[in-house]
Amino acid sequence: MESMNEHFSIVAQSYRRLRTTDLEPIFYIGDQLKELQKIKAADIGCGSGRYDLRLLQYFRSRLFLHCIDSNNKMLEQLEEYLTQHNLRSFQVIQATARNLPIQDKSLDCVFTFNAIHHFEVLEFLIEASRVLEDGGYLFIYTRLRSQNGRSVWGKYFPLFNQKENRLYELDELYDVIKKIPRLEIQSVELFKYQRVSHLDWLVKQARYHHYSTFYLYTNSEFEESLTEFKQNLERQFEDLNKISWLDENILLVIRKRTSYLLGRGLGQ
């Protein structure tokens, strides 16, 4: 845990520039919450704030957002970033997903974007259930293990799938969510993105560890794998300025059941 925290401290300043921010889940979430005039929410594992910026810009004055992360360097970057964009309706909180310093039943929704594989999932779900109002929403945006294997990294970067063993499959997420009687999966949405990039950018992303997966390599493993990655792409693509692939993610939309429904035996 200390090593991964150190990794995120190192990459905090460059993290937003290296990662892709998907807008489609923001729009989908916005449609789910369109009836709420005021939204009290938290983003858990917010990092340096790339999704928080989009959320606050989308919902504008309707949203107050608690930005929660365990890494102080990331939160420093987030606060500077959001302030530069003249956003004020947020609060920065350093905490873990298993111990949220938020009052019971005080939030309309909880978000987490590409971060759940860093959490103790059952403990996070318990906390999310605690802080949500009855009927509140939990939105989990993530990539499944099988989806990861079909990405440009999973297909062409040696050892990537073996090193990245923290991701879940959908049935595994279903199983752990079922352990929390107050939480019910409303829907699972699939997102697909056609990506196009060039070799130099992909190499830069890997060298700067835009995915924490690369932190799990030894130095020699990484260098050998990076060399083979470039060779694999050279064999696969005629134009190394137009390397294309399909990225996939899912969005779990989860609701907190009301006490009334639980009393009728639907939460058992």
What is the rounded CA–CA span in Å between residue 131 and residue 110? 9
Q: Nearest 5°: CA angle at 165, between 207 and 148?
A: 65
Instruction: Say whether pLDDT at 260 is over 60.
Output: no
Summarised one tens digit per residue, pLDDT across range 174-209 is 999 999 999 999 999 999 999 999 999 999 999 999
pLDDT band at residue 138 under the 50/70/90 scheme: very high
pLDDT band at residue 87 under the 50/70/90 scheme: very high
Lowest-confidence segment of 3-12, 212-221, 254-263 by average pLDDT: 3-12
Are 63 and 41 within 8 A, CB to CB?
Answer: yes
Summarised one tens digit per residue, pLDDT across range 109-126 is 999 999 999 999 999 999
As a whole-number percent, the residues of the chain with pLDDT over 70 amount to 93
Query: What is the average per-residue pLDDT within 73-83?
Result: 95
Q: What is the pLDDT of residue 247?
A: 97
Closest Cα partner for 226 from 156, 163, 145?
Answer: 156
Instruction: Say whether pLDDT at 100 is over 70.
Output: yes
Q: What is the pLDDT of residue 262?
A: 56
Q: What is the pLDDT of residue 12?
A: 59
Are 158 and 217 within 8 A, CB to CB?
Answer: no
H-type helices in the chain, by residue range?
Answer: 2-11, 15-18, 24-32, 50-59, 72-84, 121-131, 145-149, 152-156, 160-163, 170-177, 199-207, 219-236, 259-263
Query: What is the average per-residue pLDDT within 241-264?
Result: 86
Q: Nearest 5°: CA angle at 258, between 257 and 263?
A: 105
Q: What is the pLDDT of residue 261?
A: 56
Instruction: Say whether pLDDT at 268 is over 50.
Output: no
Instruction: Say whether pLDDT at 217 is over 80.
Output: yes
Closest Cα partner for 204 from 221, 226, 179?
Answer: 226
Q: Sheet harboring 63-69: ordered strands across?
A: 90-94, 63-69, 39-44, 107-113, 132-142, 243-256, 183-197
Q: Which domains does the chain have, with CATH numbers?
A: 2-150+164-195+249-260 (3.40.50.150)
Q: Of 258 and 45, which is predicted with more confidence?
A: 45
Q: What is the pLDDT of residue 187?
A: 97
State the pTM of this model: 0.92
Instruction: Say whether pLDDT at 264 is over 60.
Output: no
Are 255 and 183 within 8 A, CB to CB?
Answer: yes
Summarised one tens digit per residue, pLDDT across range 16-67 is 777 889 999 999 999 999 999 999 999 999 999 999 999 999 999 999 999 9
Q: What is the pLDDT of residue 134?
A: 97
Q: What is the pLDDT of residue 5?
A: 73
